[in-house]
Protein backbone atom coordinates (compact mmCIF):
# COMPACT_ATOMS: atom_id res chain seq x y z
CA UNK A 1 0.00 0.00 0.00
CA UNK A 2 1.46 3.41 -1.01
CA UNK A 3 2.17 5.91 1.77
CA UNK A 4 -0.59 8.36 2.66
CA UNK A 5 0.00 11.77 1.13
CA UNK A 6 1.01 14.42 3.67
CA UNK A 7 0.02 17.23 1.30
CA UNK A 8 -2.67 17.54 -1.33
CA UNK A 9 -1.80 18.14 -4.96
CA UNK A 10 -3.27 21.64 -4.69
CA UNK A 11 -1.18 22.49 -1.61
CA UNK A 12 1.99 21.42 -3.38
CA UNK A 13 1.13 23.36 -6.54
CA UNK A 14 0.29 26.48 -4.54
CA UNK A 15 3.57 26.26 -2.63
CA UNK A 16 5.47 25.76 -5.90
CA UNK A 17 3.64 28.71 -7.47
CA UNK A 18 4.60 30.93 -4.53
CA UNK A 19 8.26 30.00 -4.96
CA UNK A 20 8.09 30.91 -8.64
CA UNK A 21 6.16 34.13 -7.92
CA UNK A 22 8.76 35.27 -5.42
CA UNK A 23 12.03 33.87 -6.74
CA UNK A 24 11.51 32.79 -10.34
CA UNK A 25 11.17 29.45 -12.10
CA UNK A 26 14.81 28.43 -11.60
CA UNK A 27 14.30 28.54 -7.82
CA UNK A 28 11.69 25.76 -7.96
CA UNK A 29 13.58 22.75 -6.65
CA UNK A 30 12.47 19.76 -4.59
CA UNK A 31 14.44 21.06 -1.61
CA UNK A 32 12.96 24.57 -1.87
CA UNK A 33 9.48 23.13 -2.24
CA UNK A 34 9.92 20.86 0.78
CA UNK A 35 11.19 23.80 2.83
CA UNK A 36 8.25 25.93 1.72
CA UNK A 37 5.90 23.18 2.92
CA UNK A 38 7.84 22.76 6.17
CA UNK A 39 8.90 19.25 5.27
CA UNK A 40 11.50 17.25 3.42
CA UNK A 41 11.01 16.76 -0.31
CA UNK A 42 9.98 13.12 0.15
CA UNK A 43 6.22 13.69 0.82
CA UNK A 44 5.95 15.70 -2.41
CA UNK A 45 6.77 12.61 -4.42
CA UNK A 46 3.91 10.59 -2.96
CA UNK A 47 1.67 12.90 -4.99
CA UNK A 48 3.85 13.76 -8.02
CA UNK A 49 6.12 11.52 -10.08
CA UNK A 50 8.89 14.12 -10.28
CA UNK A 51 9.81 17.78 -10.52
CA UNK A 52 8.97 17.95 -14.22
CA UNK A 53 5.35 17.18 -13.37
CA UNK A 54 5.34 19.87 -10.68
CA UNK A 55 6.94 22.41 -13.02
CA UNK A 56 4.29 21.68 -15.65
CA UNK A 57 1.56 22.12 -13.03
CA UNK A 58 3.02 25.53 -12.15
CA UNK A 59 3.09 26.55 -15.84
CA UNK A 60 -0.54 25.40 -16.17
CA UNK A 61 -1.52 27.40 -13.07
CA UNK A 62 0.29 30.50 -14.41
CA UNK A 63 -1.57 30.12 -17.72
CA UNK A 64 -4.88 29.86 -15.84
CA UNK A 65 -4.12 33.08 -13.94
CA UNK A 66 -3.18 34.80 -17.18
CA UNK A 67 -6.43 33.59 -18.81
CA UNK A 68 -8.35 35.39 -16.04
CA UNK A 69 -6.62 38.65 -16.93
CA UNK A 70 -7.41 38.17 -20.63
CA UNK A 71 -11.03 37.29 -19.82
CA UNK A 72 -11.34 40.61 -17.93
CA UNK A 73 -9.75 42.42 -20.88
CA UNK A 74 -12.14 40.86 -23.39
CA UNK A 75 -15.08 42.05 -21.30
CA UNK A 76 -13.85 45.67 -21.46
CA UNK A 77 -14.91 48.19 -24.09
CA UNK A 78 -13.06 48.30 -26.37
CA UNK A 79 -12.06 44.68 -25.83
CA UNK A 80 -8.77 44.79 -27.70
CA UNK A 81 -7.49 47.71 -25.61
CA UNK A 82 -8.73 45.88 -22.52
CA UNK A 83 -6.67 42.84 -23.48
CA UNK A 84 -3.53 44.92 -23.97
CA UNK A 85 -4.07 46.67 -20.65
CA UNK A 86 -4.60 43.35 -18.86
CA UNK A 87 -1.47 41.90 -20.49
CA UNK A 88 0.53 44.78 -19.02
CA UNK A 89 -1.23 44.48 -15.65
CA UNK A 90 -0.35 40.78 -15.55
CA UNK A 91 3.32 41.73 -16.07
CA UNK A 92 3.09 44.27 -13.24
CA UNK A 93 1.17 42.11 -10.73
CA UNK A 94 2.82 38.79 -11.61
CA UNK A 95 6.26 39.69 -13.00
CA UNK A 96 7.87 36.27 -12.45
CA UNK A 97 4.88 34.46 -13.95
CA UNK A 98 4.89 36.86 -16.90
CA UNK A 99 8.58 36.13 -17.42
CA UNK A 100 7.89 32.39 -17.21
CA UNK A 101 5.17 32.53 -19.86
CA UNK A 102 6.36 35.28 -22.20
CA UNK A 103 10.06 35.94 -21.67
CA UNK A 104 11.71 32.56 -21.83
CA UNK A 105 14.06 31.42 -24.54
CA UNK A 106 12.65 29.00 -27.10
CA UNK A 107 14.54 26.19 -28.80
CA UNK A 108 12.86 26.79 -32.15
CA UNK A 109 12.46 30.42 -33.14
CA UNK A 110 9.08 30.88 -34.83
CA UNK A 111 8.36 33.33 -37.63
CA UNK A 112 6.65 36.52 -36.48
CA UNK A 113 3.37 35.44 -38.07
CA UNK A 114 3.36 32.24 -35.97
CA UNK A 115 4.54 33.50 -32.59
CA UNK A 116 1.22 34.67 -31.12
CA UNK A 117 -0.69 31.42 -31.69
CA UNK A 118 2.27 29.55 -30.17
CA UNK A 119 2.68 31.59 -27.00
CA UNK A 120 -0.91 32.60 -26.27
CA UNK A 121 -3.77 30.12 -26.19
CA UNK A 122 -6.14 33.11 -26.16
CA UNK A 123 -5.00 34.09 -29.66
CA UNK A 124 -8.26 33.35 -31.51
CA UNK A 125 -10.46 35.17 -28.99
CA UNK A 126 -8.18 38.20 -29.05
CA UNK A 127 -7.97 38.19 -32.85
CA UNK A 128 -11.78 38.03 -33.02
CA UNK A 129 -12.01 41.07 -30.74
CA UNK A 130 -9.85 43.01 -33.21
CA UNK A 131 -11.55 41.77 -36.38
CA UNK A 132 -15.11 42.10 -35.11
CA UNK A 133 -14.58 45.17 -32.96
CA UNK A 134 -13.22 47.23 -35.83
CA UNK A 135 -14.80 45.52 -38.85
CA UNK A 136 -11.45 44.48 -40.31
CA UNK A 137 -10.46 41.72 -42.67
CA UNK A 138 -8.74 38.72 -41.13
CA UNK A 139 -5.39 39.74 -42.64
CA UNK A 140 -5.62 43.35 -41.44
CA UNK A 141 -6.71 42.25 -37.97
CA UNK A 142 -3.71 39.91 -37.74
CA UNK A 143 -1.31 42.70 -38.79
CA UNK A 144 -2.80 45.10 -36.27
CA UNK A 145 -2.71 42.49 -33.52
CA UNK A 146 0.95 41.61 -34.23
CA UNK A 147 2.08 45.25 -34.31
CA UNK A 148 0.27 46.12 -31.12
CA UNK A 149 1.41 42.96 -29.36
CA UNK A 150 5.04 43.91 -30.08
CA UNK A 151 4.44 47.37 -28.63
CA UNK A 152 2.42 46.09 -25.66
CA UNK A 153 4.94 43.33 -24.98
CA UNK A 154 7.67 45.95 -24.86
CA UNK A 155 5.81 47.91 -22.19
CA UNK A 156 5.02 44.71 -20.30
CA UNK A 157 8.64 43.51 -20.43
CA UNK A 158 9.79 46.88 -19.07
CA UNK A 159 7.31 46.53 -16.23
CA UNK A 160 8.04 42.85 -15.50
CA UNK A 161 11.77 43.51 -15.22
CA UNK A 162 11.22 46.74 -13.27
CA UNK A 163 13.11 48.76 -15.88
CA UNK A 164 10.54 51.54 -15.52
CA UNK A 165 7.08 52.26 -14.20
CA UNK A 166 4.04 53.60 -16.04
CA UNK A 167 0.83 55.01 -14.64
CA UNK A 168 -2.48 53.60 -15.85
CA UNK A 169 -3.11 56.87 -17.68
CA UNK A 170 0.26 56.74 -19.44
CA UNK A 171 -0.40 53.17 -20.56
CA UNK A 172 -3.86 54.08 -21.81
CA UNK A 173 -2.66 57.11 -23.76
CA UNK A 174 0.33 55.31 -25.32
CA UNK A 175 -1.77 52.34 -26.40
CA UNK A 176 -4.51 54.56 -27.83
CA UNK A 177 -2.06 56.71 -29.80
CA UNK A 178 -0.28 53.73 -31.33
CA UNK A 179 -3.54 51.89 -32.01
CA UNK A 180 -5.15 54.84 -33.81
CA UNK A 181 -2.02 55.45 -35.89
CA UNK A 182 -1.73 51.81 -36.93
CA UNK A 183 -5.45 51.40 -37.56
CA UNK A 184 -5.51 54.47 -39.80
CA UNK A 185 -2.39 53.31 -41.68
CA UNK A 186 -3.73 49.77 -42.21
CA UNK A 187 -7.14 51.02 -43.32
CA UNK A 188 -5.45 53.34 -45.86
CA UNK A 189 -3.50 50.37 -47.19
CA UNK A 190 -6.75 48.40 -47.69
CA UNK A 191 -8.28 51.11 -49.90
Domain ranges of the chain: 9-48, 76-190
Residue 4: pLDDT band by 50, 70, 90 thresholds? low
What is the per-residue pLDDT across 120-146, written as a single tens digit (0 to 9) for each?
A: 999 999 999 999 999 999 999 999 999
pLDDT confidence of residue 169: 96
The CA-atom distances, in angstroms, between 148 and each of 118, 133, 182 are 17, 15, 8
Q: How confident is the model at residue 2 (pLDDT cuts 50, 70, 90)?
A: low
Architecture in CATH for domain 9-48: Orthogonal Bundle (1.10)
Amino acid sequence: MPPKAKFTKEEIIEAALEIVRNEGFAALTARALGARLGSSARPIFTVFQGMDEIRQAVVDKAKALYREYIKRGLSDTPAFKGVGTQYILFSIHEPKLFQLLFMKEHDDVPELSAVLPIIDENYEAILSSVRDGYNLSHETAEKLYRHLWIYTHGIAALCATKMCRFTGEEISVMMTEVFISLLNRLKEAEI
